[in-house]
Structure 1
Amino acid sequence: MEGKKLISVVTPCFNEEMNVEELHARIRETMLSLGERYDYEHIIIDNASTDRTVDIAKALASQDPNLKIIVNVRNFGPVRSPYYGIVEAYGDAVVLVAADLQDPPELIKEYIQKWEEGFDVVMSTKARSEESRVMQRIRKTYYKLLNSISEVPLEENATGAGLYDKKVVDALRRLADPYPYFRGLVCDLGFSRCTISFLQPMRKRGVSKANVYGLFDQALLAMTKHSKLPLRLMTFAGLALGVLSLLASLTFLVLKLLFWNSFNMGMAPLLVGLFFLAGMQFFFLGILGEYIGMILTHVRNLPLVVERERVNFEDRG
């Protein structure tokens, strides 16, 4: 049938042997239920899994030519590998679906419906989640803080899953960003977008790959990519602390001159002031280091990932 639109469904994977079969089945069932208006390809980009994820995916791909696989030579992390999968997809629309099934593949129907209504970006957002209340509160606070300092409003509680029109992906591809904050970039580009809220279920099988360091890394990535406010706060705070230090020094000098024999400045104020200023300096140096590290990442111009092999991409030549 001529004129069919191609939907590229991209799924980043790392050690998801317990989920990959159900993931494939649900995506296939969802796409086939859309009828003959759409062709689809399902691209699994594997981040050098150490379990049977790749073997299972290859067995499925041998029976389903719509399933395509990219295997990385090593684990390039949760930022670079998913982004690479997206920019390597050339459908009329690209859909990102997590392998842990916490972003239900059945939402693809709603994504496509909104896309057909004219939206270039359809992002899924967690209205509620079955995760702990503590994590929900931390995430909510983080998104509010990030939005308050970001130069461009970001979508709160966005998971990254959703649909992205071909022209959005083309724009991302031209950026050639070696370490992108994908959810922020999508908002920064300014394409028309909408959101679909859903209840995020708990992971049924397997272990979450997210850890404290990874979450902290992404939080700092979002801050350094989409806000200059921390740098400006450093300047303002440095100026304010300098003025306060000068006033404190002048105050102590005047008191000493007026009460030469009775005024004893003591060591406590000096120690408190010294440690406070030292702490602030280390904090600001850390923030400055994050920005410098981001510049270094761009200057090195490394590829997003290096592939080990591809499966079922023969039709692309």
Structure 2
Amino acid sequence: MKITILIPFYNEEEMIEKTHQVLSKELKTMVEFEFELLYVNDGSSDHTLELMRKIAEQDERVKYLSFSRNFGKEAAMLAGFDHASGEAVIIMDGDLQNPPYLIKEMIAKYQEGYDVVNAKRSRDGERKTTSFFAKIFYKVANTMMDVELTDGVSDFRLLSRPAINAITSLREYNRFSKGLFSWIGFKETVIEYENELRQAGQTKWSFKKSLNYALDGILSFSNHPLRMIFGLGLTCIAIAGLYIIWLLFNYFSDPSQAVSGYFTTIFTIVFFGGVQLVSIGVLGEYIGKIFYEVKGRPHYIIEESNIKKGDQE
């Protein structure tokens, strides 16, 4: 049985060799399987590609793809799925925060008949702010999205060939893989493990990138924000109607106490102006996603690879 280990790398010159060494050591304990190590260079600006070439020359199991620029992790995973030749694919990060020792357990679950084997990590050792915002995201996402996400389950998972074929058939440009993995269905299970800390280098996921990724996920898998705008509009109309009724009541009750209208004017402009800007912003996000989809651009461009046509089955 052939298993593909898929690892996207972006500016990981401090980790790529160590990751390969640790992974290779773990794979030596599983001689009954054939492994393909598929590394994707996501347009790194450091020496990641040079080190990737070196590793591939020393280890014939290593196949690599190198993008012409940085297309993002979603594109890197899709490229890996498109070029993987294994019966099953295991996705891992290149910083060893996804422990290789779980590979054996993942394959065992796959042999039991599961198409998707998810790895769920604890939040031990993580910043409190990171854990706090992560919990908020999962609560909001599971309330608004059409799929169910589990806190602690990242992209570290095993996918069977039928699951991979289902994922690669979904060619949407705005990709949110966590949602896609859940959307395709198939028989799945979860393996829990203790959180591993990065051993070298810096994380590429800043708070801003994480926030954008969360917003993209919610907008890609739900039309609830549009419905919320509709509800907000109705609420504003109701508030405005009640306010006008209150002003008329005060005027007819005691005309001498009627206000000049300055506060009313400012309140109306600021409140409804803010509602309109938020509504236009949400609509703009959806229109922007439609704009990217209809252009039909490729998800990635491969500049260099050591994969030959005959290597893919």
**Structures share fold, TM-score greater than 0.5:** yes
Letter in 1 for 2:150: E
Query: Alpha-carbon deviation of 1:131?
Result: 1.9
Residue number in structure 1 paired with 2:297? 302
Structure 2 residues without counterparts, runs of 5 or longer: none
For each residue in 1:66-101, what CA deviation from the matched residue of structure 2 results, as whole angstroms up to 9, or x when unmatched? 001100000112332223223321311011010011
Q: Name the residue aligned to 1:228.
A: 223
Structure 2 CA distance, aligned partners of 1:158 and 1:290? 27
* 2:282 maps to 1:287: yes
Matched residue, 2:74: 79
Q: What's the counterpart of residue 117 of structure 2? A: 122
Aligned to 1:272: 267
Distance 1:286 1:201 in 2: 38
Aligned counterparts of 2:309 and 2:296: Cα–Cα separation in 1: 28
Q: Is the Cα contact below 8 Å between 1:7 and 1:95 reproduced in 2?
A: yes
Aligned to 2:233: 238
User: Residues 93-242 of structure 1: matches in 2 within 5 Å?
Assistant: 93-242=88-237
Compute the displacement of 1:243 (Å).
2.0
1:247 is matched with which residue? 242
**What SS is found at the alignment partner of 1:70?**
strand
The alignment's C-alpha RMSD in Å is 1.6
| Letter of the 2:265 counterpart | L
Contact 1:129/1:136 (8 A) holds in 2: no
Distance 1:87 1:19, change over 3 A: same
Q: For residues 124 and 297 of structure 1, what CA distance do their matches in structure 2 show?
A: 32
* Residue 30 of structure 2: aligned partner: 34
Q: Could you tell me how far apart the structure 1 residues matched to 2:76 and 2:31 are? A: 31
Structure 1 position 195, deviation (Å): 1.4
Alpha-carbon distance in 2 for matches of 1:243, 1:190: 42
Contact 1:178 1:298 in 2 (8 A): yes
Following TM superposition, by how much is the alpha carbon of 1:164 offset from its aligned partner in structure 2, in angstroms?
A: 0.6
Aligned counterparts of 1:128 and 1:114: Cα–Cα separation in 2:
24
Identity of aligned residues (%): 27
* 1:250-261 map, 5 Å: 250-261=245-256
CA distance in 1, matches of 2:41, 2:72: 11
Give the letter aligned to residue 145 of structure 2: S
Q: Distance in 2 between matches of 1:155 and 1:298?
A: 28
Q: How many residues are paired up?
A: 312
Q: 1: distance between equivalents of 2:16 and 2:74?
A: 20
Alpha-carbon offset, residue 265 of structure 1: 4.9
Aligned-partner Cα distance in 2 for 1:254–1:306? 67
Which residue of structure 1 aligns with residue 13 of structure 2? 17
TM-score computed with the length of structure 1 as normaliser: 0.93
Specify the code of the residue in structure 2 equivalent to 1:9: I
The runs of at least 4 aligned residues of structure 1 exceeding 6 Å deviation read: none
Gaps of 5+ in 1: none
Q: Deviations over 1:216-260 (max 9, x none)?
A: 221111101112211111111111211221221232123223322
